[in-house]
Each structure stands twice: as C-alpha cells, then as structure tokens.
Amino acid sequence: MNRTTWKVREDGTFALLQGERPILCASAHARDDRTGTVWDTRECTLENVRRTENGLELTFLHPESVRLVEQLTVEAGYATARLVIRDGKQRGLRVRSLTPLSARDSGETSPRLWRDPRTKMLLVPYDNDMWMRYEAVALHAGLRSSDVTCLFRDADEEAVLIGAMDFDVWKNAIACPGTDARMLEARCGEDACGEDTHDAQRHGALEGMEIASSRFLILSGQDARSLLENYGRILGGMYPVRRWDQGVPFGWNCYAALGRRVNASNFRSAGDFLFDSLMPLEFQNQGTTYVNLDGGWQVFFTEDERKALRESQHARGQKAGIYDAPFACFSRELDRELPLMEGHTYREILLRDGEGRLLPRVDGSLPYDLTHPVWQEWTRRKAERILAWGYDYLKIDFLSHGAMEGIHHDPAVKTGRQALKVGYDLLSELYDQKRIGRPFFLSLSIAPLFPFGT
C-alpha cells in the first residue's frame, strides 16, 4: 500500500501524496479583519520546516511580521491540515476568515480528478431548513458545501473527501471561488457564511496573539460513499456518542398531519389508532409507540386536556412527547412578558447586530441570544416544567437560529458556533438522564447537520 505523505514546496505551496501520486496541491491564507490584508503562504518566506510525530509543521513569515503556521499530519489512514496565525509584533490579531487549504489544479502534475470534466462535487447543506438538500453537481465556479464535500466521478475510479473536524468556533465550508472552478478551498468563518447559513451579519472575529482554524481532514479512495462512511467513523471516534438503549422512537407528531387543526379529540384518535391498529401489526419498537404534541400545543390544548392525554398514553404504555423552539422567538409582541419569567420580556433576550438592532426574521422567527442569563434561566425553568409534567420526549426545533452571527451578551462569545455550543451544553445538562433519573429522548430538528463537539 502506498504511503501518504505531505511534501513542502519552496513557492509557498504543499502537496499531499499517496506514494508518488498527488492527491492535492494547496496553499493557505487568512485575512486581517482590520486592514483587509490577505496573508498568503505564497507571498511569504518559508521560515521553518519542522517534522512532527505525524507530519510537518510549516512556518511562513509574511512581510508584516505575521507568521502562518500550517500544521499537516497523517495518522490512522487520513491526513489533516490546520492553519495557525501568530502575531510577530505583539499588537494583537483580529481575524474572521481563514483558509487552511486552497487546493488548485496545477496542470499535468495534478490528479486526474481535478482535470476530468466528468468530476462531480457533493454539496452538503448547512441544515435541513428551507428545502436545502444534498446534491452532486458538475464542478464549476461558485459552489459551496457546508463542512464536508467529496470530489468523485460516476465510475468508482477515484474520489477525494475534504471535511471539517472542529465545529465549536467557526462555521466551515468547502467551496470553489466564484471565478475559478479549478480551485477548492477549505474555509473557516466569514467566507463559509451566507444565505445558506441564515446569516444577516458578518461572521464573528477572533482576537489574540494566536488564532487557529478548524482542522480539516482529507481522505482519498475509489468510492465516495466509503469515504463518507469513514469520515463519520473518524468523527464518531473523536467525540462521545450520546447513548440511547430504549429503541428507536416510533410514533407520530401532530403538526405534519393536522397543523393548526389539531385538538384534543383528533389527537386522542391518532394515539388510539397507533395503539389499536398499528401496534398489533408490529409498527412499534420494543413494544412502545410515541404520541407527540408539536408546535402550538400551548394554544390548541387546555392544561387539563394535555394532562388527560398524557395520562391516558402512559396508562397503556405509550410514551408522551412535547415541543419547544428554545432558540427562536415566534412572538410578534416582543414587549410581552416571558412565560415563567415575571418582569422580563421577549425583546430583552433577542440577538442583535453591532448597532443594537434586532436581526431579521428567518422562517418567521427571531434568534435569541443564548449567552443571555435571562434566556438561560428561562430555558432552565421550561425544562423543569416539562420534566415535572412527566413527558418522555422533546422535539426541539429551529436550532440553527442559535448559531446565527450577532453581538452576544457574553463578550467572550464571538461567533455563532460558540453561542450554539453554549445552548447545546445547557440543554445537555438540563435533560441529562443521570440528572433526571429516567430515560428522556431529545429530537433535534432544523439544526446544523454537524453538531460534533457541541
């Protein structure tokens, strides 16, 4: 089997080789948020090449005394790249855009995959909202895939996967620049954002003497599907997988079928049909079905109706589910008092731009600021109420709102992904099965597809 190695070139580029065969040829760059200057390894002096345990660390010195440190590894059958920016003048950096890999077609020395007109690019959506979907399209300028992509041909001849490994600071994308289909860039930050990430504000900037990109993984092989499966296994080995031993929930959520026409009578009938007609035909899992309230339950059911429905479900062994959209505000009365939070309003906890203005509505709703202490206390009280009511399942919806870019109450949180981690960490704590003493299923709906590490 051919050995995979990184090779550095004097022109500020580096290549990933499998034996003698090039997988990709790339450079790296980042942008100074204060001046707009682009620091590019091709415009730098190669100051140092250091061999590490698993690869190379390349240090490039820019004329502005900024060092671009490209950390390249090969381990366990895959390669990785990460860009670290270091300030040589101790003035402090401000960066909102990094590109640790800017791979390009370099003519006859490039892999055939980059030069073949049959090559397709897998486009991975940021989330499952607004009818965005997976696509495989002919390679052309302006394409962008969130977090991961594959280049491949129809025949199982050759494929290359590039995918992010870190998701708790930057939004990530792999994209062809708008003017050149012969380039493919692994991007972090501003250049990974747009309409698909629902952002109306620029990606947040990180400040400090040293700023690092996400790591990106590179795999090559003869079957794109196998590469994607391997990518999933690698990420699954890096981050703890949430355990659930109660069987796959099988059941029914009321919104798709009944929407705003749901009431106690037709909701009960649906639960009866699941129990009486479908479970005897083995439409169940481990002898259980779920009957779930969806959005609008606060309006369509009285407290007594909801309690009676839940008790009747539990009496015959069915599980009861309920709904919340903890990251998104659908209210049109922003100065109305928050339920369970006397003296506090919706407006108080909404995410804002740099001028203090509310962000635009997305899917009819405004994003909350997940770092605001009032939002966190409100979320805690809602969770305790849901648990006290005895529900077994919670659909949490519109979670992508939590990752929108804006100015957060906590000044240490600079990016949408950092805020999303704050929100996810709180929900994980509140519904932790060890804490609450019983199984409880969380269903993430309309959420970023790659929540690893958050």
pLDDT of 19: 85
Q: How many other CB atoms are found less than 10 A from the CB of residue 420?
A: 26
Inter-axis angle of helices 416-430 and 373-389, nearest 10? 30
Distance CA 340, CA 338 (A): 6
**Is 454 a residue whose pLDDT tops 90?**
no
Under DSSP, the state recorded for 274 is I
Close Cβ partners of 143 (under 8 Å, ≥ 6 residues apart): 121, 123, 137, 175, 176, 181
Left (φ > 0), alpha (ψ -120 to 50) or beta: where does 147 sit? Answer: left
When mean pLDDT is compared across 6-10, 111-115, 321-325, 439-443, the lowest value belongs to 111-115
pLDDT tens digits, residue range 347-380?
999 999 999 999 999 999 999 999 999 999 999 9
Q: Tokens 């407290």 map to which residue? A: 303
Rounded Cα gap, residues 322 and 324, in angstroms: 7
Q: Are 320 and 307 in contact (CB under 8 A)?
A: no
Token pair listed for 134:
């997976």
pTM, full prediction:
0.95
State pLDDT tens for residues 121-167. 999 999 988 778 899 998 888 899 999 999 998 766 789 999 999 99
Quote the pLDDT of residue 106: 64
Residue 22 confidence (pLDDT)? 85
Helix (H) / strand (E) element for 433: namely: helix 433-436
| In the block, residue with structure tokens 């952002």 | 199
Tell me how far apart the alpha carbons of residues 324 and 310 are, in angstroms, rounded to a whole number: 17
Single-letter amino acid code for the residue at 411: P
Q: Give pLDDT tens digits for 15-71.
A: 999 888 888 899 999 999 999 999 999 999 999 999 999 999 999 999 999 999 999
Query: Where does the pLDDT of residue 109 fall: very low under 50, low under 70, confident under 90, or very high at 90 and above?
Result: low
> Phi/psi at 175 (nearest 5 deg)?
-145, 150
> For 367-380, b where at least 16 C-beta lie within 10 A, e where not — what string?
bbbbbbebbbebbe
Using one digit for the tens of pLDDT, what is the confidence trace for 300-355? 999 999 999 999 999 999 999 999 999 999 999 999 999 999 999 999 999 999 99
Closest residue by Cα to residue 271 from 223, 306, 302: 306
* pLDDT above 70: residue 422: yes
278 touches 307 (CB < 8 A)? no
* CA neighbor of 153 nearest in space, from 141, 140, 139: 139
Please report the pLDDT score of residue 431 as a whole number.
Answer: 96
The percentage of residues in the chain with a pLDDT greater than 90, rounded to a whole number, is 79
